[in-house]
């Protein structure tokens, strides 16, 4: 499995004094290659830093937990500011609001939170946010005050998108949405694995995986089966399995994606491999033939506005970086695939339009079939006929078993607005024509639509199933792959 990152474990705590080395060894054996230890009170800020310097895989977050907000004097704050410039400090945390135990009075918590957010801003560090409501579950009424106040203070002190994570999330769908709108990552601890946490799992299902990081919150919140005992980073695997079930992905997909997220957010753990040609999601092997495209969809990570600026959306799909420095040759693609019979299906996809390289696509496809590929799918924008100035549907027959075409809108005008094709208004009708050719050639065809605000999904469904007589699938706007 890909390496894991535990973005929240309090390894500095006394519970680990007797066997910290053994804990780190077990974490390593479980694949946890980087760990982030957030300080909670004044004294622990020095300890997390000392430990981070002793163990290379351990990183520190500097902060004051809302329980200890009263400790944040001016003197303490300047002390933290000094510590936080250390190279092993990956974040400011954990900070936030805790109305559940309310150990510090609410106004004191809020004031400390503001000061620490401003510190994070000055130092350009991400934040680790703690939020606990007076009562668990729901954000409405009395029980929603903690989240409401947290979001209000965040908006007051920082400008979205905010670099940070809302850790050990326990709110409802509205709170999750607000966190995502602010640009935050969301993380759950083993609370997600508890049998009674059905509603929390429903919230988790709706959170795009590219905004999720993993945490144990050790020594607290041991997973189901070990409840009440001391938690430790090696148990992160149980959370990975829960996520895999919730998202209908493999544990590998969860590990890879969340580790890439942790790298982006905190700069810890291994740097992701860039420019992948063949990449695995579930048991499908995807092939990235080119980054060139004849569309410039507003939602695409390759579009000018969105492209990799070190934050926000980026050319990653489920933890795979798809921006290549050049197009791979046929031989390079085949070498990257290895034995194609190992996979349920091989998909020509990637960020870019594979049909632009039709000759190479057909050559790769033919040789993969010879080597035992079980099923070959093409994900395309459907511009093939316009790109090559002839009907290419029949040429795909025998090599491609299934074609998935991005229809995206119910009419040519809206297609122009959202997909901004190189061929102008005639593009939409040509896509429909391409779909017909593929259906008539006997391939399985599915028209897909990215659920953008303002797109009439019902009209799209009718065009696909009634007019074109092919399959239909809606894709979530911000959850590609
Ligand atoms: S068709 Fe795909 S690769 Fe091309 S711009 Fe649209 S989303 Fe991006
Ligand atoms: Zn916390
Ligand atoms: Zn914590």
What tens digit of pLDDT does each residue of 315-334 get? Answer: 888 999 888 889 999 999 99
Nearest atom (ligand 1) to Cα of 294: 4
Same domain assignment for residues 248 and 333:
no
Residue 273 located in a structural domain: no
Ligand 1 site, residue 373, Cβ cutoff 6 A:
no
- Give the closest ligand to the alpha carbon of residue 217: 3
Same domain assignment for residues 371 and 238:
no
Distance 170 CA to ligand 1 centre (A): 35
Q: What is the pTM of this model?
A: 0.90
Residue 437 located in a structural domain: yes
268 vs 19, 61, 90, CA distance in Å? 24, 12, 8
Ligand 1 site, residue 368, Cβ cutoff 6 A:
no
Sequence-distant (6+) residues with CB within 8 A of 264 are: 311, 314
Residue 11 located in a structural domain: yes
Distance 153 CA to ligand 3 centre (A): 20
Protein residue closest via CA to atom 6 of ligand 1: 297
Average pLDDT score over residue span 67-72: 96
Could you give the count of Cα atoms lying within 13 Å of 184 in the half-sphere of its Cβ?
A: 23
Task: Indicate which CATH number applies to the domain containing 387.
Answer: 3.20.20.70
Given the structure tokens 């995206």, which residue do they identify? Answer: 408
Could you say which of 240, 266, 292 is where a domain stops? 266
Same domain assignment for residues 225 and 116:
yes
Give residue 481's pLDDT band: very low, low, confident or very high (50, 70, 90). Answer: very low
Best CA proximity match to 193, nearest among 231, 159, 164: 231
Residue 436 CB neighbours (<10 A): 16
Does residue 70 contact residue 108 with C-beta atoms inside 8 Å?
A: yes
Sign of CA dihedral 63, 128, 157, 144: negative
Q: What is the number of residues in the chain?
A: 481
Range of the domain at 127: 4-266
Residue 272 located in a structural domain: no
Same domain assignment for residues 309 and 241:
no
Nearest atom (ligand 1) to Cα of 291: 3
C-alpha 128/C-alpha 38 separation (Å) is: 8
Same domain assignment for residues 341 and 439:
yes
Give residue 143's pLDDT band: very low, low, confident or very high (50, 70, 90). Answer: low
At 182 the pLDDT is 96
Task: Indicate which CATH number applies to the domain containing 36.
Answer: 3.20.20.140
Protein residue closest via CA to atom 8 of ligand 1: 300
Ligand 1 site, residue 353, Cβ cutoff 6 A:
yes
Residue 153 located in a structural domain: yes
Same domain assignment for residues 260 and 286:
no
pLDDT tens digit sequence for 273-292? 888 999 999 999 999 999 99
Ligand 1 site, residue 131, Cβ cutoff 6 A:
no
Sequence-distant (6+) residues with CB within 8 A of 156 are: 114
Could you say which of 245, 266, 287 is where a domain stops? 266
Strand segments (E) across 155-211: 164-166, 185-188
Ligand 1 site, residue 355, Cβ cutoff 6 A:
no
Same domain assignment for residues 201 and 322:
no
pLDDT of residue 480 exceeding 60? no
Q: What is the tally of structural domains in the chain?
A: 2
Average pLDDT score over residue span 46-53: 98
Sign of CA dihedral 18, 21, 25, 28: positive
Could you say which of 234, 266, 298 is where a domain stops? 266
Strand segments (E) across 54-126: 58-62, 89-98
Same domain assignment for residues 239 and 288:
no
Same domain assignment for residues 414 and 355:
yes
Same domain assignment for residues 318 and 195:
no
Best CA proximity match to 324, nearest among 275, 269, 290, 377: 275
The strand pair at 320-321 and 471-475 is best described as unpaired
């Amino acid at each position: 499995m890909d390496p894991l990152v535990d973005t929240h474990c309090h390894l500095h705590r006394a519970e680990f004094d007797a066997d910290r080395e053994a804990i780190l060894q077990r974490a390593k054996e479980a694949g946890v290659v980087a760990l982030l230890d957030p300080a909670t009170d004044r004294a622990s800020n020095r300890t997390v830093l000392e430990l981070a310097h002793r163990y290379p895989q351990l990183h520190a977050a500097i902060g004051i937990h809302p329980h200890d907000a009263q400790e944040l004097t001016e003197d303490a704050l300047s002390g933290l500011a000094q510590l936080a410039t250390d190279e092993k400090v990956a974040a400011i945390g954990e900070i936030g609001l805790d109305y559940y135990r309310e150990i510090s009075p609410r106004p004191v918590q809020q004031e400390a939170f503001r000061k620490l957010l401003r510190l994070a801003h000055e130092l350009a560090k991400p934040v680790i946010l703690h939020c606990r409501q007076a009562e668990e579950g729901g954000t409405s009424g009395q029980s929603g005050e903690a989240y409401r106040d947290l979001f209000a203070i965040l908006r007051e002190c920082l400008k979205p998108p905010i670099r940070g994570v809302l850790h050990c999330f326990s709110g409802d769908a509205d709170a999750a949405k607000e966190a995502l709108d602010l640009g935050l990552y969301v993380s759950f601890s083993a609370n997600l694995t508890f049998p009674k946490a059905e509603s929390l799992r429903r919230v988790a299902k709706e959170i795009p995986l590219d905004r999720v990081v993993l945490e144990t919150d050790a020594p607290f919140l041991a997973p189901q089966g070990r409840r009440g005992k001391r938690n430790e980073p090696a148990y992160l695997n149980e959370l990975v399995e829960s996520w895999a079930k919730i998202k209908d992905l493999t544990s590998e997909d969860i590990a890879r994606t969340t580790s890439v997220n942790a790298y982006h957010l905190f700069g810890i753990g291994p740097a992701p491999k860039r420019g992948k040609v063949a990449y695995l999601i579930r048991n499908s092997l995807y092939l990235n033939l080119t980054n060139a495209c004849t569309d410039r969809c507003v939602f695409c990570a390759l579009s000018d506005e969105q492209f990799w600026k070190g934050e926000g959306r980026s050319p990653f799909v489920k933890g795979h970086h798809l921006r290549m420095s050049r197009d791979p040759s046929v031989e390079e693609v085949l070498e990257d695939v290895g034995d194609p019979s190992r996979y349920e299906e091989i998909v020509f996809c990637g960020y870019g339009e594979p049909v632009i390289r039709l000759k190479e696509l057909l050559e790769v496809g033919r040789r993969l079939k010879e080597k035992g590929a079980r099923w070959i799918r093409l994900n395309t924008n459907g511009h093939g006929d316009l790109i090559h100035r002839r009907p290419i549907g029949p040429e795909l027959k025998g090599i491609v078993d299934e074609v998935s075409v991005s229809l995206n809108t119910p009419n040519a005008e809206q297609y122009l607005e959202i997909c901004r094709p190189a061929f102008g208004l005639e593009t939409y009708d040509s896509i429909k024509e391409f779909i017909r050719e593929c259906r008539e050639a006997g391939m399985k065809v599915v028209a897909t639509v990215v659920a953008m605000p303002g797109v009439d999904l019902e009209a799209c469904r009718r065009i696909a199933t009634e007019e074109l007589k092919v399959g239909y699938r809606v894709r979530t706007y911000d959850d590609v792959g």
